[in-house]
Amino acid sequence: MTKRVLIVSNSFDLHADLVTPYLNDYHAEPFRIDLDCFPRDYQIVQLFWHGKLISNITHLPSGQCLNLDEVGAIWLRKPADYAFISNDLAPQELAYAKLETEHALFGLLYPLDCYWMSHPIQLRGAMWKAEQLHRATKFGFNVPRSLVTNCAQQVRVFKQQVPGEIIFKPLSSSSLAADAVAESERIAEGIPTTIIDDAMMNNLEAVNELPCHFQEYVDKQYELRVTVIAGETFAAKIHSQDDVRTAVDSRDISANIIYEATQLPADIAQRCREFVSSYGLNFSALDLIVTPQDEYVFLENNPNGQFLYVEQLIPEFQLVKAVAATLAAEAQCRS
Amino acid sequence: MKKQNEKKLFAFKLAEKNQAAKTDTQWKARDGVAVAGCTGPVRNFRYSDSGMYC
């Protein structure tokens, strides 16, 4: 039986759109579950019968059907809010419906003995920033002095002890959970990594309300986005210091800074691969700083990070094709 | 629901200060380039990861 690739994402995922034609070229017969249309536009059947498990899913608008036995590889991309036939479920009905959907979906997927990019257990285990820093030190990376606390006084002490500036960056959501509330309820759109000035040091009492994440500001020569796909590293050198908009937080892509392919020192590349592999991940994207003294500093790991922008700025990387080739090959070898 | 006037959380106070200083807190698009990072601007992505798979 020729094994297929299952993509789990949402209908506005451009990465998935672009990987799909390659999967077709590789005859991997991709099937996509768009979670923002699930379960409304899909029909699932998971039947236990005389000790045998039969699972299939049908995309109702197209009539495409997937027998889960056919799945050789899953690309678990991005989550989304589920959709239901009735859009006026009572709040408790809706809350229950979301829980049941999650349970039904992952109960369908977890039994699959296939290649995962990447498994939700590994993804969840890899997402905690403080744990990442701790693990990075064990792999020999330099990491910035960091503090997570809901004690304002601890922040004052931290600031005094750090030689230069300190920065604040959210642990969970740079958009400050703006997407989790209705537009009419939105009071902030988000926050980039921000240097804490004296005025904000006078507002530290607010830290007592909620644990906050502070780090020493590390001077940069340039930054690196290291995408690891099935053990292969693609290192993008980001000239973030060439523009004031990207000097502190390189994610403002409107700044016309240079991205270029670079070769990591062998030991750093190996460290990146081993770090990703230690979580059992088959994909991840690491953010590193290279200091003016040529030291490599680990910032964070993005176990399901975006990579399309990197390829658009460095076309030679062909990351989209690399992801597709990996998924197709892994599915194939399970045929 | 009535919106509170004073932000209580440090991150929101900081975001407000950035806004007052007319610092862009919203990452902008560059023609032909997708948004960087694991969580993009809310305006461009209806849903972000909320850290779940990021």
Q: To the nearest whole angstrom, how far is the Cα of A115 from the nearest Cα of chain B?
A: 17
Residues A184 and A244 placed together within one structural domain of the fold: no
Domain final residue, candidates A216, A247, A278: A216
Instruction: Count up the domains in chain A and report the number.
Output: 3
Judgement on whether residues A12 and A105 belong to the same structural domain of the protein: yes
Contact status of A280 with chain B (Cβ, < 8 Å):
no
pLDDT at residue B51, as a whole number: 38
Amino acid identity, position A147: L
| pLDDT the model gives residue B21 | 73
Residue A287 lies in a domain: yes
Is A212 part of any domain?
A: yes
Residue A135 falls within a domain, yes or no?
no
User: Which domain, by its residues, includes A201?
Assistant: 145-216
Cα-based distances in Å from A169 to A61, A216, A288: 42, 11, 15
Q: Please, what is the end-to-end C-alpha distance for chain B in angstroms?
A: 30
Asked if residue A324 lies in contact with residue A308, where contact means CB atoms within 8 angstroms, the answer is: no
Distance from CA of B47 to the nearest CA of A (A): 6
Contact check, Cβ <8 Å, B49/A124: no
Q: Between chains, do A190 and B45 touch, taking CB under 8 Å as contact?
A: no
In a domain, A313, yes or no: no
Provide the b/e sequence for A96-121 (b: ≥16 CB within 10 Å). Answer: ebeeebeeebeebbeebebbbbbbbe
A189 and A229 share one domain = no
| Angstroms from A150 CA to nearest CA on chain B | 10
Domain C-terminal end among A216, A240, A269: A216
Q: Is A252 in the same domain as A181?
A: no
| pLDDT at residue B24 in the model | 53
A170 touches chain B (CB under 8 A): yes
pLDDT given for residue A245 in this prediction:
87
Whether residues A127 and B54 touch (CB distance < 8 A) is answered with yes
Instruction: Write the CATH number for A194.
Output: 3.30.1490
**Do A254 and B15 lie within an 8 Å CB cutoff?**
no
**Interchain CB contacts (distance < 8 Å): A and B:** 164
Interchain CB contact of A251 with B (< 8 Å): yes
DSSP-assigned beta bridge partners for residue A224: A237, A288
In this structure, the answer to whether residues A19 and A114 fall within a common structural domain is yes
**Closest residue to B16, CB basis, from A124, A188, A212:** A188
Predicted local confidence at residue A256, as pLDDT: 86
pLDDT value at residue B33: 74
C-alpha torsion sign, points A108, A113, A115, A120: positive
More confident residue, B43 or A201: A201
A226 and A299 housed in the same domain: yes
Contact check, Cβ <8 Å, A168/B14: yes
Which residue of A123, A185, A256 is in closest CB contact with B1? Answer: A185
Q: How far is A5 from chain B (nearest CA, A)?
A: 19
Nearest CA among A44, A15, A55 for reference residue A327: A15
Across the interface, of B10, B39, B48, the residue whose CB is closest to A203 is B10
Best residue of B10, B25, B33, B43 to probe chain A, by most A CBs closer than 10 Å? B10
Q: How far apart are CA A226 and CA A230, in angstroms?
A: 13
In a domain, A125, yes or no: no
A182 and A254 in a common domain: no
> pLDDT at position B35, please?
65
List CB contacts of A181: < 8 A, sequence separation 6 or more. none
Predicted local confidence at residue A174, as pLDDT: 87
Could you tell me if A236 and A227 are in contact, meaning their C-beta atoms sit under 8 angstroms apart? yes
Q: In what order do the strands lie in the sheet with A146-149?
A: A146-149, A212-216, A166-168, A194-195
Residues A259 and A211 reside in one and the same domain: no
**pLDDT for res B31:** 66
Give me the residues of chain A with pLDDT under 50, please. Answer: none
Q: Are residues A12 and A31 in the same domain?
A: yes
Confidence of residue B19 (pLDDT cuts 50, 70, 90): confident
Find the closest chain A residue to B52 by CA distance.
A124
Q: In angstroms, what separates the C-alpha of B44 from chain A's closest C-alpha?
A: 10
The whole-angstrom separation of Cα A231 and Cα A136 is 17
CA distance B3 to chain A (A): 7
Q: Is B44 on the interface with A (CB under 8 A)?
A: no
Report the distance separating Cα A229 and Cα A227, nearest Å: 6
ipTM confidence score: 0.85
CATH number for the domain spanning A238: value is 3.30.470.20
